[in-house]
């Protein structure tokens, strides 16, 4: 098992377990205790765990968003495939509002050389596109969430209301037939809703792991979406619910 894959597996364990031990993890993954200590040290730097003697305590609260550094390690290959599929749906010359998050950062990378007008909703995406030779980059106003670096607040929402986009590419923390699109941060919810309202077409880009989660804030139901781009792990029932609501599902 590669290091990134093992880190993802440890994080999955920490979502339901309050603590882990170095010895147990070393036996479970068939690696040395020194390797597990390095893994836990890396997770501690990302705010996922607090290191204690012989192991670590989980800091992943069930009702809160995992740290960006932790999410960045999840489903890396799937996110790259999803991003390429999203890029393929955009026509040159489109005006696009691009949400924040680790999957959307991959989308920004995938469209770096395209001829588009893009309003990014996160500094990470803005920085990625700042050197794009053919992208017309439009920056919204607003506050910047610490760590996440997403634009939020009344100024961001006003910027979105003042513009009209061909496509909104939105990320999410959870997606389900029962609860629709959800996000943890309520300010992010308001910005996503403003982006959706300002766009002719709405694409949700998310890995299939989001289908097993429901976050605190409701963004919209399936009926507010046009396309969902995900990976091949999407649960069949959720796939059928999306297509039944008239949403095109693309698996990458």
pLDDT tens digits for range 193-218: 999 999 999 999 999 988 877 888 99
CA gap 237, 108 in Å, rounded: 30
pLDDT digits (tens, 9 = 90+) for 81-90: 999 999 999 9
pLDDT of residue 65: 60
Residue 248: pLDDT band with limits 50, 70, 90: very high
pLDDT at residue 231 is higher than 90: yes
- Give the CA radius of gyration of the chain: 19
- Name the residue among 29, 28, 27, 24 with its Cα closest to residue 55: 24
- For 71-105, what is the HEC assignment? HCCCCHHHHHHHHHHHHHHCCCCCEEEECCCHHHH
Full set of structural domains in the chain with CATH: 3-62 (1.10.10.10), 75-251 (3.40.50.10470)
For 245, phi then psi, to 5°, come to -90, 5
CA gap 103, 101 in Å, rounded: 6
Q: What integer is the mean pLDDT of 43-61?
A: 83
Hunting for tokens 């959706």 — which residue is that? 196
Name every residue whose Cβ is closer than 8 Å to that of residue 61 and which is 6 or more positions away in sequence.
none
Q: Which two tokens stand for residue 200?
A: 């002719």
pLDDT of residue 60: 66
CA gap 238, 249 in Å, rounded: 10
């Amino acid at each position: 098992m590669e290091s990134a894959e093992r880190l993802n597996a440890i994080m999955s364990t920490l979502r339901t377990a309050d603590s882990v031990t170095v010895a147990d993890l070393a036996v479970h993954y068939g690696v040395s205790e020194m390797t597990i200590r390095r893994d836990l040290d890396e997770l501690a730097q990302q705010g996922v765990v607090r290191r204690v003697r012989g192991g670590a305590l989980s800091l992943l609260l069930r009702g809160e968003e995992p740290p960006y550094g932790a999410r960045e390690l999840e489903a890396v290959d799937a996110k790259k495939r999803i991003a390429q599929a999203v890029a393929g749906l955009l026509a040159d010359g489109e005006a696009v509002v691009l949400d924040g998050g680790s999957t959307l950062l991959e989308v920004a990378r995938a469209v770096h050389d395209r001829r588009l007008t893009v309003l990014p909703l996160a500094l990470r995406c803005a920085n990625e596109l700042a050197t794009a030779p053919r992208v017309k980059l439009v920056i919204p106003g607003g506050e910047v969430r610490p760590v996440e670096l997403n634009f939020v607040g009344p100024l961001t929402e006003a910027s979105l209301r003042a513009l009209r986009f061909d496509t909104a590419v939105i990320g999410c923390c959870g997606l389900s037939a029962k609860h629709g699109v959800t996000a943890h941060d309520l300010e992010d919810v308001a910005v996503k809703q403003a982006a959706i309202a300002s766009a002719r077409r709405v694409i949700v880009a998310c890995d299939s792991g989001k289908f097993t989660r429901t976050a605190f804030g409701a963004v919209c139901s399936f009926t507010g979406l046009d396309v969902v781009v995900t990976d091949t792990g999407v649960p069949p029932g959720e796939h059928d619910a999306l297509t039944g609501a008239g949403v095109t599902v693309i698996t990458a």
